């Protein structure tokens, strides 16, 4: 039996599929597993995958690895469209809704904004005094959120590029953040024993999902209030469980 660790999750634009990126330790190969048409297509890449995102029109996937290399894949062919290698730590990545801007969080505490994937001409936003680990885009195109090693999540106005609020429930470096499909809620997590869900406009925490292990990825479904999440969970043999869970389904008696 092969056990794998899920690092990142991402739903397709329509919310029909959830893809996962993982490291297969048995074969030491770095794989991207994409569910298309009910089948799993596997692409071998040149590094341990740690970040992944879809372009909003569903035509491209961006994958970042531990060697600070970005790979842009064409979804229709699963061929490499573009690659970029950084000289410093690159973390979570995201496209804006229009698809012309690409955001990269960095270990230097700033967020790089790249137009039309021209990686050599980035605009740099000073976001946190500690490294920035994750980013999420509001589906209504009003805000983006950045999670940092300082345990804070900052909420930014997209048009003015100003920080308008911080979310402060966590005590450990923020690993992952995501907006709900309506833009009403934000979920974020770390090594703390819970996932916090807060109201975007008020900043108030409205629910916490208990966790048994550090969380690596949370991702809201783009059509429903369903939250997929995955972390460092172990099975009864204390090996990696290799599963992800979904919160928000209704229960019927």
pLDDT single digits (tens) 18-30: 555 544 433 333 5
Q: According to the model, what pLDDT value does residue 33 have?
A: 62
Residue 80 pLDDT greater than 70, yes or no: yes
Answer whether residue 252 is part of any domain.
Answer: no
d(CA 21, CA 56): 18
Q: What are residue 16's DSSP bridge partners?
A: none
pLDDT band at 75, cuts 50/70/90?
Answer: confident
- What values do phi and psi take at 117, rounded to 5? 60, 30
Query: Residues of the chain with pLDDT > 70: what percent?
Result: 83
| Higher pLDDT, residue 146 or 65 | 146
Answer whether residue 31 is part of any domain.
Answer: yes
d(CA 25, CA 34): 19
Average pLDDT in the chain: 84
Answer whether residue 244 is part of any domain.
Answer: no
Rg (CA), the chain: 17
Q: According to the model, what pLDDT value does residue 218 have?
A: 92
d(CA 170, CA 204): 13
- Mean pLDDT calculated for residue range 87-105: 91
Residue 194 pLDDT greater than 50, yes or no: yes
Q: Which residues contact 28 (CB under 8 A, 6 or more apart)?
A: none
Domains: count for the chain: 1
Tokens of 199: 């109201």
Q: Which structural domain, as residue segments, surrounds residue 146?
A: 5-236
pLDDT tens per residue, range 53-71 = 889 888 999 988 889 999 9
Answer whether residue 246 is part of any domain.
Answer: no
| Higher pLDDT, residue 115 or 30 | 115
- What values do phi and psi take at 69, rounded to 5? -120, 135
pTM: predicted TM-score of the whole model, two decimal places: 0.78
Answer whether residue 253 is part of any domain.
Answer: no
CATH number at residue 113: 2.130.10.10
| Higher pLDDT, residue 78 or 201 | 201
pLDDT tens per residue, range 196-246 = 999 999 999 999 999 989 998 899 998 899 999 988 877 777 777 767 889
Residue 91 pLDDT greater than 50, yes or no: yes
Q: What are residue 22's DSSP bridge partners?
A: 6, 31
pLDDT band at 158, cuts 50/70/90?
Answer: confident
Q: According to the model, what pLDDT value does residue 12 have?
A: 54
| Higher pLDDT, residue 242 or 116 | 116
Answer whether residue 249 is part of any domain.
Answer: no
Answer whether residue 251 is part of any domain.
Answer: no
Answer whether residue 76 is part of any domain.
Answer: yes
Q: Which residues contact 251 (CB under 8 A, 6 or more apart)?
A: none
pLDDT tens per residue, range 40-53 = 777 778 778 888 88
């Amino acid at each position: 039996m092969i056990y794998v660790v899920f690092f990142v999750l991402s739903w397709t634009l329509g919310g029909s599929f959830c893809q996962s990126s993982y490291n297969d330790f048995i074969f030491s190969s770095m794989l991207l597993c994409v569910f298309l048409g009910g089948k799993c297509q596997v692409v071998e890449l040149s590094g341990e995958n740690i970040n992944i995102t879809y372009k909003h029109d569903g035509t491209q996937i961006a994958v970042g690895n531990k060697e600070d290399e970005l790979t842009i894949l064409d979804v229709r062919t699963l061929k490499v469209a573009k690659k970029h290698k950084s000289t410093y730590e690159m973390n979570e990545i995201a496209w804006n809704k229009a698809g012309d801007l690409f955001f990269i969080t960095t270990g230097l505490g700033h967020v790089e904004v790249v137009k039309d994937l021209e990686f050599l001409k980035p605009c740099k936003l000073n976001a946190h005094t500690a490294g920035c680990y994750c980013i999420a885009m509001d589906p209504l195109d009003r805000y983006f959120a950045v999670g940092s090693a300082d345990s804070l999540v900052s909420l930014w106005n997209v048009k003015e590029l100003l920080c308008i609020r911080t979310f402060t429930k966590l005590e450990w470096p923020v690993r992952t953040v995501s907006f709900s499909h309506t833009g009403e809620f934000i979920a974020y997590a770390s090594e703390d024993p819970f996932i916090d869900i807060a109201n975007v406009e008020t900043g108030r925490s409205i629910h916490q999902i208990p966790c048994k292990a550090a969380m690596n990825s949370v991702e809201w479904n783009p059509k429903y209030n369903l939250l997929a999440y995955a972390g460092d969970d172990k099975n009864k043999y204390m090996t990696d469980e290799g599963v992800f869970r979904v919160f928000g389904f209704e229960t019927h008696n």
